[in-house]
A = this chain, B = another copy of it.
Amino acid sequence: MHKLIKIDEKIYAITIYDQKTRYFEGIWRIPEGITYNSYLYLGDEVNILFDTVKRDFSKELIEAIRKVIDPKDIDSVVIHHMEPDHTSGLKDFLEANKWSAEIWSHPLSLKMIKAFYKIDVKFRSLKDLETINIGDEEIRVIHTPWLHWPETIMTYMLNRRILFSGDAFGGYSIPEETTDKILDEGYIRAIRKYLATVIGFYRPWIIKNIEKLDRLHIKPSIIAPAHGKIWVKDPVKIVELYRSWAEAEPINNKIVVIYGTMYGGIENLVNEVVSRLSEKRFNVIVYSFNEEKWDCFGDILGDILDSKLIIIASPVYEGKILPHIEYLINLMTRKTDSPKEVILISSYGWSKVGGKYISKLLEGSKFRVVDIIEYHVTHDPKILDRIVTTIDSKSEK
C-alpha cells in the first residue's frame, strides 16, 4: 500500500507502507511497521525524484509515479543516502525510466552504486554547500555525514523552504496521517525508537549536523524525511526533539525499569516497587523478559534516551547474569550512552555476583551506578524499602 499526496504546488510525496518487515535492518523488531518516502518534483525545466525505495516495493513506487508523470520523463534522481532501503529499487526505476535519468549524489555514492547493484549510471557528483539552479528553484546540497552513513546528504529547496532530510527526522511506524497534523505520543515513541536503534551510535553527529543547518540559516517550512511523517507544521519541533534525544536530555520524573526473571521472583519485587512509586509523582516505564514475553529491545533503547533513572534487575545465572539482559546492556552502552544514574538489582542463590558483573559491563560508558541491591532468593520488605528510598533520593536532585 502507498499514499501519494501533494505537499506543495510542484511536489508529491510517495509514501510506501512496509508492514511485512518484522526486523528492521534484520535487527530491530518493529511490529509498528515503517514507511519509505520518495518525493517527486515536477518543475518547468526539470523533473526530479528524491530517493527510491526498497526493491520489494519498486513496482509500487513506479505505479505511484505513473499517476502523475511517465517515469521516462524524470531527469534526475537525488540519492540522499545509499542504504538499500532507499536504493535497492533504483535499478527497477531506471529500467522504467529507460536509463535516461542522471543520479545526483555524494561523490562516494557512485562507487557504491556499482558495488551494490552492478549497474552503470549517469552520475553527477554533488559538492557540500553547492547550489543547483533548476529554473524557478534552487537546491542547496548539505553534506550531513553519519546520518547515518558517511555519504549522507540533505537537500534544501531554497524558495520553497523544503528540506529533504533522508533518515534524519524520520521514524518507525505507519502513521495514520502522513503529515504532522498532531504530534501524538505514540508517534513520538516511534521516532525515538528509530533514532535510538538506527542512528543512536551516531548521536554526536545528529548534534553536529543540526548545528550545521543552524549555521547555514536553514529554516524549513517543510521537513521531508525518508521514513514516517512529513513535518509541514512547525517543523522546528522535530529538530528540537532530535536534538534533545541526541543529547539524551532527561525528563525529570521518568524512570525506566528493565528486568529479566526466571521464575517470577524479581518480577514480584518489581511489581511492588512500581506500585509504591505510582503513589508518587513518577512516570515509570517497565520492560520485562519473562516466561511469557520478551519486550522489544528497540523500545527500551528509545525510552532510555529521555529517562532520568534506569533500574536494571536480573537474577544471577551461571555465575553471570541473564544473557539477554547482558545483550541489552551492551546495546545500551552502544546506542544510548549518557550520564544517567543506574540502580542495579540482583537476586542470587549461590553467590552475590550480579551487581558486580553488570557494573563491569557498564564500565567505560557514561552510565553511573548509584546503588547495587542484592538479595538471596526471595526479597524481604527491607529490600523494597531500600529501593524505593534510593529512587526517591536520586530523582529529587
Contacts and interface: CB of A to CB of B under 8 A. Distances in A.
A27 B85 contact: no
Contact of A118 (B26, B149, B350, B378): B378
Number of chain copies forming the complex: 2
Contact of A26 (B22, B23, B290, B334): B290
A289 interface: yes
A292 interface: yes
Interface string A323-340: 110110011001000000
Of A20, A83, A149, A349, most buried by chain B (CB within 10 Å of CB) is: A349
Contacts of A263: 25-26, 83-85, 88
Contacts of A84: 262-263
A357 interface: no
Which of A25, A294, A378 counts the most chain B CB atoms within 10 A?
A: A25
Nearest to A350: B150
B262 A26 contact: yes
Contacts of A116: 377-378
Contact of A24 (B112, B291, B293, B327): B291
A262 B349 CA distance: 40
A322 interface: yes
Contact of A327 (B88, B115, B118, B323): B323
B291 A23 contact: yes
A396 interface: no
Given A150-B350, A263-B85, A377-B116, A26 B289 contact: yes
Contacts of A323: 27, 327, 330-331, 334
A47 interface: no
A318 B201 contact: yes
The main secondary structure of chain A at its interface with chain B is loop
Interface string A255-299: 000001111000000000000000000000000011111100000
A376 interface: yes
Contacts of A88: 263
A35 to B, nearest CB: 15
A112 B377 contact: yes
Contact of A292 (B20, B150, B291, B327): B20
A23 B20 CA distance: 24
B377 A22 contact: no
Contacts of A395: none
Given A27-B324, A263-B85, A115 B377 contact: yes
A21 interface: yes
A280 to B, nearest CB: 29
A345 B88 CA distance: 23
Contacts of A330: 323, 326
Contacts of A23: 289-294
B261 A26 contact: yes
B294 A318 contact: no
A318 to B, nearest CB: 5
B334 A318 contact: yes
A350 B115 CA distance: 12
Contacts of A22: 291-293
Contacts of A350: 150
Contacts of A26: 260-263, 289-291, 322
Given A21-B292, A112-B349, 14 more contacts: A23-B293, A24-B291, A25-B262, A26-B261, A26-B262, A26-B289, A26-B322, A27-B262, A83-B263, A84-B262, A323-B327, A323-B334, A324-B327, A327-B327
Interface of A: 20-27, 83-85, 88, 112, 115-116, 118, 149-150, 201, 260-263, 289-294, 317-318, 322-324, 326-327, 330-331, 334, 349-350, 376-378
5 contacts: A23-B290, A25-B262, A26-B261, A26-B263, A83-B263
